Amino acid sequence: MKDKPGYVQVKRRTGAMRIIHWVNVISMIAAIITGLYIAAPYYQALIADPAVDKYVMAWNRWVHFIVAIIFDVTSIIVFYLTFFSRVDRPWGKVIPNKQNLSEFVEVLLNLLTLNRRKKFNSEHNDSFNITFFFIFHFLMIWMLLTGLQMYVHGLESGISSIGAWWPWMLHLVTDWTLPVSSWMVGSTATGANIMDVRIAHHTTMWLLITWVVFHIYYQFWRTIFWKEGDISIIVGGSKYVKIKEDEEA
Amino acid sequence: MSIDKEESVKKLFTAESAQVDTNKGDAYYDELYISCQKRIEELKKLKPLNNRVDFTESIEDQGLERRDFLKWASATTAMLMLPASFTPLVAEAAVLMNRVPVIWVELSDCAGNSEALLRSDGPKIDEIILDIISLEFHETLQAASGHQAEKQMDEAMEHFKGKYLLFVEGAVPLGMNGQFGTIGAKGETFVDHLHRAAEGAAAVVAVGSCATYGGIPAAAPNPTDSVGVMDVVKGKPIINIPACPANPSNMVGVILHFVLTGTIPELDSLLRPKFAFGYRIHDNCERRAHFDAGEYVEEWGDEGAKNNFCLYKVGCKGPMTFNNCSIIRYNEGVNWPIGVGRGCIGCSEPDFWDKYAYERPMSNANIKAPTGGVEKTVDEFGLGLLTAAGIGIGIHAAASAVAGKREDGGEY
C-alpha cells in the first residue's frame, strides 16, 4: 500500500485481532437482543402455531449462551494477546505510573478541548483508551462470570452433557459472584441470592451499552478531529500519522 | 483485618450453591443403613413421650390403610434422597416420631405455617405425623395461656434439655431493642424468647420464609429491623425450611431425617435441606414446554391463560427458585401455585417479597422507587439537582471571571 504523502502508515491490528473485534460486536448485539428477550419476552410467539413448531425462548436462550461461550473464548485469546501480541501489547499502559497518568490527562484534555491541545503520541494506543478498554474487559469478565453462575443454577443436578467437571468448575469459579452481587445490589437479606446476580447481570448490560455508545462516539470523533484515519484501524488494520515537519527533513 | 472482615472474605470464597450429590455410593449408604438401624433400636427402647397417640391407631382412625402408609413411606424415602432399601427404616422411624420432643415458638408471623399443617382438606399422612410428634409447646395450639403457658415451656425446656428440636415460625425483630414484639405475661421480647428457647435445643428448625430470612416483616423498608433465625442464633445446628408457607412434607422430612439418623440432613449454602431445595421449580414445571416455545400468558385471563401457557411474563420466578413444590406439590399432591394458573413468587428465596413477588419479569419490576420511597426519592433527587446546579453556576461564574479579563479574545 502506498503511503499518503506527508503521512506514515502505522500497523495497529492484525487480521486475527480485527476478526475478534467484529465477532465480539456481532456477539454483543446478539447477546443484548436475546438477553432482553430472556429478561422479559418483548414479542409474542404466534399463538396459532402448536408449541412443537416454535421454540422461541429456547432459541433465544440458545443464541444467548452460544454467543456468551464465543465471548468466553475470544476473551481468552484477547487476554493472551494483551500480554504476548507481536503488534500491540497494551497492558503496560494501565499501570498507574507517572508517564501513563500524565498521558491519560493529556488525552482527556485533548477530548475536552475538542482537539485544541494534543500533546501525546497518537500513533499507538494511549493510556486513556487502554484504561477505557480495561473497564470494558472488567465489565465483560463480570458479565461472563455472573452469566455462568446463573447458567450453573440450571445444572443443579451436578451433571452436564460434557461431564460433571463442568458444573463443578463453574461453581468453583463463579460462586463468589453471589455474595458480591448481594453486596452490589445492597441486599439486606440473609444469605446470597440468585436474584441479586440477575439484577447485577442486567444492570451491567446497561453499563456495557453505555460503554459502547461512548466507544463508537469517541472513535468517530478521533477519526473526524484527528484526521488520522483511526476508524480504519479496526477495518484495514492501520492508521496514518502525519509526519512532523522536523522529522520529514 | 478484623475478624468480621476475615469471616466475610472466607465466606466469599467458600460460598456454595445448590449443588446436590444424589448418589454417594454403596459404601456410604451401607454404613448409613447400619447406623440408622442402631438408632431406631435405641429409640424403640424409649417410651413415647407423655401420652401421645399411637401412630398406627391414628392412621386407622382417619380411615387410611397401611398400604397408603407404605406408599407414603416409599415416596418420602425418595424425597429424602435415600435408596429404596431404606423404605422399611423410614416407615419405622415415622412410627417412632413421638419419641422426639418438639418445641414450637412463634415470633413475627401470621401463623401461616401452623395453618398449613392444620387446615388441610383432610388429615393426610404428613399431617397425622405432625399430629403425633411430641409437640411439647406450641403457642397457637395449646390451651394454656399467660403464666401457665410460660411455666409449661420452662418445664419442657428443662425436662428435654439438649434433646428437643426447636421449631421457630416468624421473623425476629431487632429494632428498638426488640420491643417491636413481646410475648408472654412477662413481656419478654421475641429475640430474648428465641435465645432462651434455642439454648437447650438439639437443633433449630426455622419454618417458613420469615423465620429463615426475615420474610415479609423484613421487606423494605423493614421498619422493625427484622432478621431470620440464622442471624440471631449462633453455635447451634440450624435447618431452614423456607417457603410461604413451608410445605408440611418438608417439615416431616426434616424431623424424619433427625429421627432416622440422629443428624440433620445435608444443607445448601442457605442452610436449606438439599432433599427439598436442591431442585429448581422451573425444571420440573408442567408448563416448561410453553416457556421454551415462547408461549406466555400476556395478561390474566387471556387466551394464553386459558391454554395453560407459561406464566413467566406475569412474573413467574420459577426459573430462579429452588423448592420441590413442582414435584411434590402442596396438600399431599393436590395442587400448587402454577397449577392454579398464577406464577411462582419465589417464596423460598431470600428477600422474596422485594425481589421476586412483583408479578412481572425482573427487568420490568418498577414498583419500588429506587431509593426506598416516593418522597425520599424526590427530596434526595431535588437536593442532588440543586447541588449540581450550584456547582455548575460556580464553575461558570469562575470561568466567566477568568475569561472576562481577556475580552479581546483568546487564540481562536
The residue of chain A nearest to residue B364, with distances taken between CA atoms, is A40
Q: Sort out which chain A residues have CB atoms less than 8 A from B360's CB and list them.
A: 40
Residue among B271, B279, B351 minimizing CB distance to A156: B279
Q: Kindly report, residue by residue over B138-155, the tens digit of the pLDDT.
A: 877 777 788 888 888 888
Q: Sort out which chain B residues have CB atoms less than 8 A from A176's CB and list them.
A: 12-13, 15
| CB–CB contacts below 8 A, A to B | 143
Task: Name the phi and psi angles at B151, rounded to 5.
Answer: -60, -40
- CA atoms of B112 and B270, how far apart (whole Å): 21
- CA atoms of B59 and A188, how far apart (whole Å): 45
Mark yes or no for CB contact A41/B212 under 8 Å.
no
What's the pLDDT score for residue B138?
Answer: 80
Which CATH code is given to the segment(s) B24-277? 3.40.50.700
Q: For chain B, 412 residues long, give each residue's pLDDT as a single digit of tens.
A: 345 556 666 666 666 656 666 778 889 899 989 999 998 888 888 777 655 567 777 777 777 788 888 888 888 888 888 889 999 998 888 888 777 888 889 999 998 988 887 765 556 666 677 666 777 778 777 777 888 888 888 888 998 898 888 999 999 999 999 999 998 888 899 999 999 999 999 999 999 999 999 999 998 888 899 999 999 999 889 999 999 999 888 888 888 888 888 888 888 888 899 889 888 899 899 999 899 888 899 889 998 899 899 999 999 999 989 999 898 888 777 889 999 999 999 999 988 888 888 888 887 776 554 455 566 667 777 788 899 988 988 888 888 777 765 555 444 4
Other CB atoms within a 10 A radius of the CB of residue B266 amount to 15
Task: Name the phi and psi angles at A162, rounded to 5.
Answer: -110, 15
DSSP, residue by residue, A144-197: HHHHHHHHHHTTTTS--TT-THHHHHHHHHHTTHHHHHHHHHT--SSS--HHHH
Query: Which residues have a Cβ under 8 Å from the Cβ of B62 and sit 6 or more positions away?
Result: B122, B123, B128
Query: Which residues have a Cβ under 8 Å from the Cβ of B149 and sit 6 or more positions away?
Result: B137, B139, B142, B184
Give the mutation candidate from B17, B230, B288, B310 for the A interface (greatest A CB count, under 10 A). Answer: B17
Q: Sort out which chain A residues have CB atoms less than 8 A from B269's CB and list them.
A: 178, 191-192
User: Do B208 and B242 contact (CB within 8 A), yes or no?
Assistant: yes
Residue among A58, A158, A180 minimizing CB distance to B20: A158
What's the pLDDT score for residue B23?
Answer: 76
Distances in Å between the Cα of A3 and the Cα atoms of A7, A47, A238 are 7, 60, 11
Mark yes or no for CB contact A45/B270 under 8 Å.
no
User: Do B129 and B55 contact (CB within 8 A), yes or no?
Assistant: yes
In order of their start, the domains of chain A are: 7-248 (1.20.950.20)
Other CB atoms within a 10 A radius of the CB of residue A82 amount to 18
Q: Which of residues 21-50 of B touch A (CB under 8 A)?
A: 21-22
- CA atoms of A111 and A123, how far apart (whole Å): 16
Mark yes or no for CB contact B222/A41 under 8 Å.
no
Q: Sort out which chain B residues have CB atoms less than 8 A from A168's CB and list them.
A: 19
Residue among B213, B278, B298 minimizing CB distance to A189: B213
Class of residue A203 by CB neighbours under 10 A (exposed 0-12, middle 13-18, buried 19+): middle
Mark yes or no for CB contact A157/B21 under 8 Å.
no
Mark yes or no for CB contact A54/B296 under 8 Å.
no
Class of residue A187 by CB neighbours under 10 A (exposed 0-12, middle 13-18, buried 19+): buried
Mean pLDDT by 10 residues, chain A (249 residues): 72 87 94 92 74 81 92 85 72 80 89 85 84 90 92 82 87 89 77 84 92 92 88 88 62
What's the pLDDT score for residue B264?
Answer: 85
Residue among A40, A44, A180 minimizing CB distance to B363: A40
Residue A121 C-alpha cell reads as 503520541
The continuous run of DSSP H or E covering A132 comes out as helix A127-153
Q: Sort out which chain A residues have CB atoms less than 8 A from B294's CB and list them.
A: 41, 44-45, 54-58, 60
ipTM of the complex: 0.77
Mark yes or no for CB contact A176/B364 under 8 Å.
no
Interface contact A145, partner B, CB < 8 A:
no
Residue for cell digits 449443588?
A: B19
DSSP, residue by residue, B149-211: HHHHHHHHHHHTTTTPEEEEESBEE-GGGGTT-EETTTTEEHHHHHHHHHHT-SEEEEEHHHH
Classified by CATH at the fold level, domain B281-364 comes out as Cytochrome-c3 Hydrogenase; Chain A, domain 2 (4.10.480)
SS (H, E, C) B324-350: CHHHHCECCCCECHHHHCCCCCCCCCC
Interface contact A48, partner B, CB < 8 A:
no
- CA atoms of A198 and B363, how far apart (whole Å): 9
Q: Which of residues 158-217 of A touch B (CB under 8 A)?
A: 158, 167-168, 171, 175-176, 178-180, 187-196, 198-199, 202
Residue B59 C-alpha cell reads as 392412621
